[in-house]
Amino acid sequence: MLDEVDPANIEATILKLVSFGTRHTLSTQNSTVRGIGAARDWIASEMRKYAATSEGRMTVEVPGYIQPVANRIPFPVRISNVVARIEGSSDPSRVYVISGHYDSRVTDVMNYESDAPGANDDASGVAVAGEEQGLYGANFLAQSLRNASVNVEGMLNNDIVGSSTGDQGQKDPFTIRLFAQGPPLSESDDVASTRLRIGGENDSPARQLGRFVSEVSANDATGMKVAMVYRLDRYLRGGDQTPFLQQGYPAVRFTEPNENFDHQHQDIRVAEDGTQFGDLPEFVDYAFAARVGKVNLAALWSLSQAPGMPRNVTVDTSTLGNESQFSWEQQVDGAELAGYELVYRPTAAPLWTHAYDVGNVRTATVDLSKDNVIFGVRSVGKNGYKSPAVFPFPA
């Protein structure tokens, strides 16, 4: 499947989105050739073409709502998401979300008339509307999923993933940043306090998802390195991963390694020194964007093929000792489950360094002190695919 990710197709998609002039959230929704409404309808049409070949496993919806006057919303406007759903076969109740916002803007965030091509921000990611005006589309989607008690085990947000060149000409065409937050936004004070007390601040669900993505996607098959950044997002910026985190879902953000701010949130113009401003398609590296697509595909495929993560993972802290004992619960019926692995790493290491195959059990004891390393438990499928690890809390 990775070989089917084609830079030419990505270029065609970006150029088509740019052709709508502006995709500002407040722009017209009545035209077939200009504005966010035309872009929305085209994206939905393309998704439905793919769905037509899926034998009923893929469906496309355009849910939305009328956003009343609010911050950056001077008049009521319809916010619409284009949502394509591919149904799984073995565990369809487990959901993964991959997204990118399809709206765009210029220097004045309220200017919905001027051309705002948004080639890199974020035609290169494309899926959720309303980000530039305040994450309205992502809030709506995340809240809808939470209200429906949907089990979202991971969300990958692609936002500004189309250029490998920074504002000083620096190039890094084989690295993508992955931003992963520490202690969850939704965590209670008691849980957050326990997490800090036991040294689990680097083992939030978001960072476990980030580790997983790095382990399965940074390789010769994708041609990319995944640089995990221990932050929610860049300074002074935000993205659609935040509403998912606020709803208690693991969520991370992909962003190119070196940004050029002359090409973000800018009116299209040429300065006296010849500098071209504006988020124009000539500044997109389509081969780079294709490799980012491969990173997403490798991650999503690996997540979907693995069993669900173990639940209620705990470590026994009732007595002092140099052994470590763990317990957990199985998430699904076990038809696809081979067993579990206990993983660990030095406390200052970013990725897992060791793994024990403990079999198809619900408890395990190892001759290694829980004081000296960070532990995790992950599910292993009969196909060999492994879930993200889960950090144990005291029983």
The domain that holds 369 is classified in CATH as 2.60.40.10
Q: Cβ–Cβ contacts within 10 Å for residue 223, how many?
A: 16
Specify the 3-state DSSP secondary structure of 381: strand
Distance CA 256, CA 158 (A): 9
What's 233's domain CATH number?
3.40.630.10
Distance CA 355, CA 351 (A): 12
Please name the residues in contact with 56: beta carbons below 8 A apart, sequence gap of 6 or more: none
Q: Cβ–Cβ contacts within 10 Å for residue 245, how many?
A: 22
Say yes or no: 370 and 230 in one domain. Answer: no
| pLDDT tens digits, 337-365 | 999 999 999 999 999 999 999 999 999 99
Q: Give the residue from 102, 352, 145, 379 showing the smallest Cα distance to 246.
A: 145
On whether the CB atoms of residues 315 and 323 are closer than 8 A, the answer is: no
On whether the CB atoms of residues 342 and 379 are closer than 8 A, the answer is: no
Q: Residue 276 half-sphere exposure, CB side, CA atoms within 13 Å? A: 6
| pLDDT tens digits, 110-153 | 999 999 999 999 999 884 454 557 788 999 999 999 999 999 99
Name residue, tokens 């940004």. 259
Distance CA 94, CA 84 (A): 15
Strands 58-61 and 83-86: antiparallel
Last residue within a domain, chosen from 305, 322, 354? 305
Last residue within a domain, chosen from 254, 284, 305? 305
- DSSP-derived letter for residue 222 is T
Say yes or no: 105 and 37 in one domain. Answer: yes
Say yes or no: 139 and 6 in one domain. Answer: yes
User: In the predicted model, is pLDDT for residue 275 greater than 90?
Assistant: yes
Say yes or no: 274 and 379 in one domain. Answer: no
State pTM to two decimals: 0.95
| pLDDT tens digits, 19-39 | 999 999 999 999 999 999 999
Name the band, by pLDDT with cuts 50, 70 and 90, for residue 170: very high
pLDDT value of residue 332: 67
Q: Give the residue from 118, 351, 349, 80 showing the smallest Cα distance to 214.
A: 351
Residue 28 is part of which domain span? 2-305
Name residue, tokens 């935000």. 238
Q: Which helix (H) or strand (E) holds 225?
A: strand 225-229
Last residue within a domain, chosen from 269, 286, 305? 305
Q: Which residues pair with 158 in a beta bridge?
A: 254
State how many domains the chain has: 2
Say yes or no: 317 and 280 in one domain. Answer: no
